[in-house]
Amino acid sequence: MDSENRMNALTWGLLLLLGLIWGGSFFFARIAVHHVPPFTLVLLRLSLAAVALHVYLAGRFGIYQVLRSHWRQFLMLGLINNAVPHTLIFFGQTEMGAGLASILNATTPIWTVLIGNQLTTDERLTSAKLAGCLAGLVGTVILLAPSVTNSASVPFWALLLPIIAAISYGFAAIYAKRFKGIAPPVVAASQLTGSSLIMLPVALVIDQPWMLATPPAAAIAAILGLALLSTAFAYILYFRIMALAGATNASLVTLLVPPSAMLLGFLFLGERLGFTEIAGMMLIALGLLILDGRTYAWIRHGMRAGAA
């Protein structure tokens, strides 16, 4: 029993750490995007993280053979799980803070459920999933409404970008099921390799990074934090949590990312969220809790116990 308690404490500690690190990705991006164009920033994040993971793997798990035999699939996964969503989020963060961007992107599980219901036969909508999706979508509408009426400081197009990124992550989650027989660290390193190759010509042609001014030390530190801490190390930590607690428990980190990003934005960037943003976040969080399933089961159990 004691060992189980220690394992639970360890798992929660790692989850909190991962939530802080992934929340930090929005914080780092908000700093860096003021000095580095989004396409180049995406390239730096992905390529540095890919190199770090290749060093970490050191050829283990047959990574190079896997890359040779599945390179087309990893290019696709890298496109929809890294290149496209990161680019959209960084462009959105040119106009919005870390906290708001993280809240909008936290809708990823909602879109994953809706996409899975359409594209797969084993992930059908249940009453609980439908309730969770509806709560999350209402929260999203609340976040978008002020921009539609031109009463918000963030333009509508910028708010849409993290949501489209979340939809891209949803498609990626379904597509990634084909890699079940491959070691997760290999999938991570391989998709980062593929997405780096995709972003290289884009950044070179559009941004011409050799013409850019050298970013300040704070931006360089943010880029390194984004690539090495919030991408490479975060993947390793996530796989560790999955090994200890399973994929369902690891998915709880989704609830921890927005508060972490909001806290970092508040402490170091002076960001504030208004009532509308907080209300939208609470509804999205409620939707995620319902999608998790355990909250819905606890409610039903409590209702039955009350009736008895």
| Residues of the chain scoring pLDDT < 70 | 1-8, 148-152, 294-308
- 29-72 pLDDT, tens digit per residue, is 999 999 999 999 999 999 999 999 999 999 999 999 999 999 99
Three-state secondary structure string covering the chain: CHHHHHHHHHHHHHHHHHHHHHHHHHHHHHHHCCCCCHHHHHHHHHHHHHHHHHHHHCCHHHHHHHHHHHHHHHHHHHHHHHHHHHHHHHHHCCCCCHHHHHHHHCCHHHHHHHHHHHHCCCCCCCHHHHHHHHHHHHHHHHHHHHHHCCCCCCCHHHHHHHHHHHHHHHHHHHHHHHHCCCCHHHHHHHHHHHHHHHHHHHHHHHCCHHHCCCCCHHHHHHHHHHHHHHHHHHHHHHHHHHHHHHHHHHCCHHHHHHHHHHHHHHHHHCCCCCHHHHHHHHHHHHHHHHHHCHHHHHHHHHHHHHHC
The pLDDT, as a whole number, for residue 295 is 58
Query: Structure pTM?
Result: 0.91
Confidence (pLDDT) at 152: 66
